[in-house]
A and B are shown apart, each in its own frame.
Chain A
Amino acid sequence: MDTTKTTGGGPKPAFWILLVLCVLGLIGFAGYKGGWFEFLAPEGKKDDIAKIDADELAKLQAGAAKADAEAPDGNAPTTVKEYNFVPSAKLPPVEGTASYKPLQKGVVRFAINVWAGWAPIVFANDGFQPGKEWTAADGKKFKVELVLIDDPVAMRDSYAAGNVHIGWATLDMVPLFLEELRKDSRVMPRVFQQIDWSNGGDGIVGRGVENIGDLRGKTVVLAQNSPSHYFLLNALINAGVQPAEVNFKFTADAFQAAAAFNADKNISAVVSWAPDIYNLADVKGNKLLVTTQTANKLIADVWFARADFAKDNMPILEGIVRGIFDAMVALKDDANKQKVASLLGKGYSIQPSEALAMLGDAHWTNYAENREFFMNQNNPANFERTWETAYYLYKKIGQVAQKTAFDQVMDFSLIQKLGKDEKYASQKDEYTVTFTPRAVSAIKAESGEILTKTVVIHFFPNSSEIDKVIEVQEGEKTVKKPYDPNVGFVLEEIGKLAAQYGASRIIIEGHTDASMKGQVPDSAVKDLSTQRANAVKEALVNKYKTLQPNQFTAAGMGWDVPADDNDAGNHAKNRRVEVKVYPLEAQ
């Protein structure tokens, strides 16, 4: 070591550290003063959370559902009205040569995740490995390999690379996938079949909150861009809470959301999966706010094939659709349930008993339910409305850029074709809840509400006609016009809510303003508001044949409950209808 130069001569080491710090400091200061800080380190656009307006959504959907732009008629009785377009005419054409990996030894690779909904295909395939021979519609034989890819992003990328031919998703996730998949017509998804509705598998657990409306101003933890996200946003807007009023904490997946909720007592709610939600709900002070057992037609699991694969292999896809439907029928048998539990246990590396318990998280959707989902335009919980809702919500919080129409991904041609087969055509919708009529007081006494949705229907003074037509002078002519042209949209909103929360009891409360207080007897006003609530109920069940009258209970509240205690004299605010959602039975 040369010790002659350690003193004097060169600067001390500390000088160099100071020099670096000074240079950085000066750059920072110059940037700050000079205003090009905004250029160097712009604040960025926060995901623009726009105000969500349920009316707007209803208008979008009512508009989407109607090719002809007539004013929505709240009371026109409608039955099942099926789409009359040909899917192939709407689906985007596939350009270029197919880019999926060719079938090795006739094996179709089908991606699945850890979820009860896949039990039918696991059963049909006798496990995950390719072995069992399936028959395509043209009589050719093929095999299926079920590839477990639990992470949706990894699944999407594997699907886009052509390593798997078929992907899994909840329908609400597909718009998010499309942001990237749209770039290549060959990887555009084609949705052929609904596998299940989540039925108790997803839920929201609260801490120190009683219902969804209480989440205003609170912190909720969940997995971003997942079914949890969709579930929560949908519940919030129905409860009249803007997403901007809630502090979202995002984790990578639903398991971590549950862990974070457990670890951090400042978080008021978590959206997660079974069994975590049930374990968390058992903790003292926590409450299960809602699960998909109540919101039983909200989260739809589907599978989709690559457009290029579908173009080349329709007979195979038909074979898969049939196989899955047949397995659903076979799984009604307990011995088969035991068998599929052991197959799932093997594939998912869990105990068969766990797999058996998991089966209750989903309701497999049979042929009749698929037909309702894909083809019935008037089903308030159909493919199109689920799609529109997901797009609307994700667009509002800045998660999707451009919109793809539902008929660019939905291919009901196989569902339509199977309808010619008596075996499927004779199937019945098995997912209906039988409601017994019940009084308002009994429903309210049983458990707290899940959420309250406030809508406004303008009734003609002293009338309970929901579609009251009035005569207006327009220049020379007298024109007949509906008193409230928005009624159709409001009914659409309530109908969709009732369908999504298919296993809930819904109380429709009519409220009036207090402008005539002291001039007319209370009882007369109560009667009027009861008639109005009943009119809404009648109009609903007439408009949507899939809804049962007994799901709804009408109540007249008169002027007793102002909309806003701090603004009790606001007549316009007080003339309203409140739709309260209650669990079917105390959870």
Chain B
Amino acid sequence: MTQGKNPLAGFFSGFFKIRDEPTIFGRVFMAALCLAGIAALWWYVTRGETAADRIVSPYALGSPAEVFGSFPSLWFDRALTRNLAVSLWRVLQGFGLAVLVGVPIGILCGAFKRVDAFFAPISIFGRNVPVVALVPLALLWFGTGEAPKIGFLFIACVAFVLFDASRAVGDVASDYLDTAYTLGASRWQTLLKVVIPLAMPDIFNSIRLLFGLAFGYIIVAEALDMDSGIGVLIMQSQRRGPREHVYLILLFITVVAFVLDRVLYFVQRRLFPYRYGRG
């Protein structure tokens, strides 16, 4: 941290110092600068009254005023928040199921290599199958309604959860096991009291990252039967307009996903003080 009398001077003098950490204001300032640059470019290529005057056709991208001007209709008429809540609830169910199934099996796989070998085909298949190709199949397997969407999310995520949990357990250093055995712990005690608590921070971290993945999949899953959800809002906006809503929804999802990630990260740091310290 640069401790100058004049924070601005510190900001500039440290600008090209390798690995110099700016203050929080310095960081925010740079981020704002980036956004301002994007906004200016956006305004520039979409300025002009008619399509003919513009660098980018309004068909492809509306002006900032047009895009943000359509926000009220997205928020009030098309119930953005409710659709988002519906989608989040689906993600929670599908992904929650994947966690409930994947984590215990993953822990067993990590601890017992023969169980790992047993589940290997499923894990390899699940992590390498082209997920989008599962969409029509989900309809065949689960019918219509909520089941295929939740089922699809479960199938799309469970192998990753399982694999990450197994790896986290496998990554626990042998020293801990040896120490536990030396202190006279039984096999189950070692697993429950040493291995799992040590693996948990990594498992939680991977769940946090995979949650973002599942949030992306929901848009694909909601194409199954287009009744509600953020994915349906996107698809309908692509089909019949307004295209402005597509951009707005994508922005909105990004913000929501970021906030959720930070909340989970906050929880994660509090849950595992032995890993992250008491920050």
Contacts and interface: CB of A to CB of B under 8 A. Distances in A.
Do chains A and B interact in one complex? yes
B79 interface: yes
Contacts of A251: 139, 223-226
A20 interface: yes
Nearest to B235: A252
Contacts of A42: 75-76, 79, 81-82
Given A5-B278, A41-B85, A160-B60, A221 B144 contact: yes
Contacts of A284: none
Interface stretch (B22-30, B50-58, B94-102, B249-257): B50-58
A129 interface: no
Contacts of B272: 13
Interface stretch (B36-44, B120-128, B153-161, B263-271): B263-271
Given A42-B76, A43-B79, A255-B136, A96 B225 contact: no
B200 to A, nearest CB: 10
A16 B271 CA distance: 8
Nearest to A176: B240
Nearest to A261: B144
A262 B148 CA distance: 14
A16 B270 contact: yes
A97 B274 contact: no
Interface in B221-279: 223-227, 235-236, 238-243, 263, 266-267, 270-274, 278
Interface residues of B, number: 48
Interface stretch (A182-190, A320-328, A410-418): A182-190
Given A96-B51, A184-B51, A187-B59, A256 B271 contact: no
A44 B76 contact: yes
A13 B270 contact: yes
A17 interface: yes
A267 interface: yes
Interface residues of A, number: 51
Interface string B101-127: 000000000000000000000000000
B140 A262 contact: yes
Contacts of B239: 153, 176, 224-225
Contacts of B59: 160, 180-181, 183-184, 187
A96 B274 contact: no
A95 B52 contact: yes
B53, B77, B135, B272 — most chain A CB neighbours (10 Å)? B77
Contacts of A224: 226, 236, 239
A97 B273 CA distance: 64
A439 interface: no
B12 interface: no
B51 A186 contact: yes
A96 B273 contact: no
Nearest to A41: B81
Contacts of B187: none
Interface in A378-433: 399-400
B140 A263 contact: yes
B142 interface: yes
Contacts of A181: 59
A40 B81 CA distance: 7
13 contacts: A15-B270, A20-B263, A42-B76, A42-B81, A43-B79, A45-B77, A180-B241, A185-B50, A249-B144, A259-B140, A260-B224, A260-B225, A264-B144
Interface of B: 50-53, 57-60, 75-79, 81-83, 85, 135-136, 139-145, 223-227, 235-236, 238-243, 263, 266-267, 270-274, 278
Interface of A: 1-2, 5-6, 9-11, 13, 15-17, 20, 40-45, 95-97, 99, 153, 160-161, 176, 179-181, 183-187, 221, 224-225, 249-252, 255-256, 259-260, 262-264, 267, 399-400
Minimum-distance CB pairs A-B, first 4: A96-B52, A44-B79, A16-B270, A184-B51
